[in-house]
Structure 1
Amino acid sequence: MKITILLENTKLKDSNFSVENGLSMLIEKDSFNILFDTGGPEESVIKNAVEIGIDLSKVDAVVISHGHDDHTGGLLKFLQINDKAPVYLKKEALNPHYAKFPDGEKQISMDDKITQNYANRLKFVDKITEIAPGIFIIPQIEKKFPIPSSNQVLFEKQNENLVRDTFKHELFMVIENDNDLIVFSGCGHTGIKNIVNTTKNMFPNKKLDAVIGGFHLQAGSLNYAFAKVEEIEDMAHWLKEEVAGQIYTGHCTGERGMNIMEPILNDKLERIYTGMKIEL
């Protein structure tokens, strides 16, 4: 299995990639190509695919982890390029979503043009769904552990009122690689511990070899919306025990979160960046 990071918040200094706050990964597994999230509204994913030489028209399926625009921003342009790939997501991902700051609020929803022009491409998932052999979308996340405290600035609109986001719009993906499992998380708003725990409960006899994606330990670059240090340390110790192989993370995990986790996870932790290639 080959994974290409088409967008993460960072890049190598000598690269020509476009970066913005967001995440997108191309996963190639047994000739089946999945675009997991589509990055931010500046459409950096589309530009970076061209830079790398990836033909997005050949993608077989898109998986949208949740309805925020830093993960759905490139979807409209993708649908104009690719006329075949179904888009798997939760129906709640289409709801209005907001980030609330001391100086006001910002809408961070999916582009309305997606449902207006490409509704027939959207495939809503409400139960575990195998989209290709060994590739599973998991829409129901068991909440055994608390969700990240850094979610405090995120809201959804219900009956014209803003209420705290419950993240019913979030899903994740699991791929069987040989006999092991690889977990893909967008932001992990419902908590990466809950995502990993759900995976282990659903596949009790499989080894969890790697986790890839964001852990939402901070809200963008906001210095008042960080997860607590003890919360991050607890998560790192837990992941060290529960994940047999590597932990690849970035985006909303943030530099601060990774610096706190690094002494605990050591070489088990790998920071992802735009253009990075991973082979598992």
Structure 2
Amino acid sequence: MKITTIIENSKPVDSNLECEHGLSFFVEYDGKKIIFDTGKDGNNFLENAEKLGLDIKNADYMVLSHGHYDHTGGVIPYVDTFGNDFKLIINPSVFYPRYKYNGVKKVDIGMPFGREDLEKRNVNTIFSEDIETISENIDVISGFSLHPEYRMEDSGLFCQENGVEKKDFMPGESVLVMKYEKGLVLLIGCSHSGVVSIIEKVKKLYDEKIYAVFGGTHLGVASSAFIDKTVQYFKNSDIEKIGVCHCNGEKAGYKFKEEIPDRYFQITTGKVIEI
């Protein structure tokens, strides 16, 4: 299994790659090539993939974790550059209008394209609200409820569902679950419902150990108490590899490093994870 970080918020000092407030991974596993999220800026996404020597042109699947601009900016540039010979897996809620308030001003943080843009380009789109199987060892899981103890705190994000404004805890977020000889490997975009909410659902669906969790935890906007509780959950678990990035935040990063330095690591632009 090889997971390459095409783009993330940070990068090594000597890197010639671009970084941005966004996230994108390229997964090569079980005979499949999967783009998981596409960052914020389509040009950065495409240029980094080329510099990294990644064969994204021949991706079998593209999976979007959720409908925010910093995870979906490369979709249309990708299709316009390489064509539509892939399958796109998304939860239908990605098309909800999404925003936050800056004082009284509403700031759009949703996707930079709509359903009609995909239809115009004849993108083979699979709408999944539960489990979509990619291969014998790869699933896309969606539809998360808020864990009663580890539900994500209110981070001031909103969406409109059927014209009604509501707090956005992203139950329709999609997660990649890969079966590996040492256990399950989870690839997560932002954990808007809470990273533990996601892990606990996966544990209920699969009678297998979770070996690794990689991706965004959304702890950058969480309170110190919530960060401490979440890190302790990981510390008390048997998850062996914990790679975090994007929306994890410095405070949570310090806490992970302090409590479980042997299992935690930071994911940056260009980082390659091979297991």
TM-score (normalizing by structure 1): 0.91
Q: How many residues align?
A: 271
> Per the alignment, do residues 99 and 58 of structure 1 end up closer, same or farther by CA in structure 2, a change over 3 Å counting?
same
Deviations 1:61-115 (A, max 9, x none): 0111101011111111112214211110100111111122226222122212633
| Partner Cα distance (2:109, 2:226) in 1 | 26
Counterpart code for 1:217: L
Q: How does 1:1-280 map to 2 (within 5 A)?
A: 1-80=1-80, 81-102=82-103, 104-110=105-111, 111-112=113-114, 114-118=117-121, 120-145=123-148, 146-149=150-153, 151-158=154-161, 162-204=165-207, 206-218=208-220, 226-280=221-275
Deviations 1:187-235 (A, max 9, x none): 000110011111111112x1211000000012xxxxxxx3111110110
More displaced 10-residue stretch of structure 1: 132-141 or 267-276: 132-141
Structure having the larger proportion of residues in helix: 1
Q: Given that residues 25 and 35 in structure 1 are in contact (C-alpha distance below 8 angstroms), is that contact kept between their aligned partners in structure 2?
A: yes
Instruction: Tell me the percent identity.
Output: 29
Counterpart code for 1:46: L
- Extract unaligned runs of 5+ from structure 2: none
> Per the alignment, do residues 203 and 9 of structure 1 end up closer, same or farther by CA in structure 2, a change over 3 Å counting?
same
TM-score (normalizing by structure 2): 0.92
1:221 maps to: none
Return the offset for 1:266. Answer: 1.6
More displaced 10-residue stretch of structure 1: 155-164 or 183-192: 155-164
Q: Given that residues 84 and 123 in structure 2 are in contact (C-alpha distance below 8 angstroms), is that contact kept between their aligned partners in structure 1?
A: no
| Partner Cα distance (1:238, 1:119) in 2 | 43
> Per the alignment, do residues 16 and 164 of structure 1 end up closer, same or farther by CA in structure 2, a change over 3 Å counting?
same
Return the offset for 1:128. Answer: 1.2
Deviations 1:134-186 (A, max 9, x none): 1011112243234322x422111246564311413312111001251001110
Counterpart code for 1:266: P
| Partner Cα distance (1:33, 1:272) in 2 | 20
More displaced 10-residue stretch of structure 1: 106-115 or 257-266: 106-115
| Partner Cα distance (1:10, 1:230) in 2 | 26
Return the offset for 1:24. Answer: 0.7
RMSD: 1.8
| Partner Cα distance (1:94, 1:210) in 2 | 30
Matched position secondary structure for 1:40: coil
- Extract unaligned runs of 5+ from structure 1: 219-225
Counterpart code for 2:218: H
> Per the alignment, do residues 262 and 75 of structure 1 end up closer, same or farther by CA in structure 2, a change over 3 Å counting?
same
Matched position secondary structure for 2:35: strand
Matched position secondary structure for 2:39: coil
1:222 maps to: none
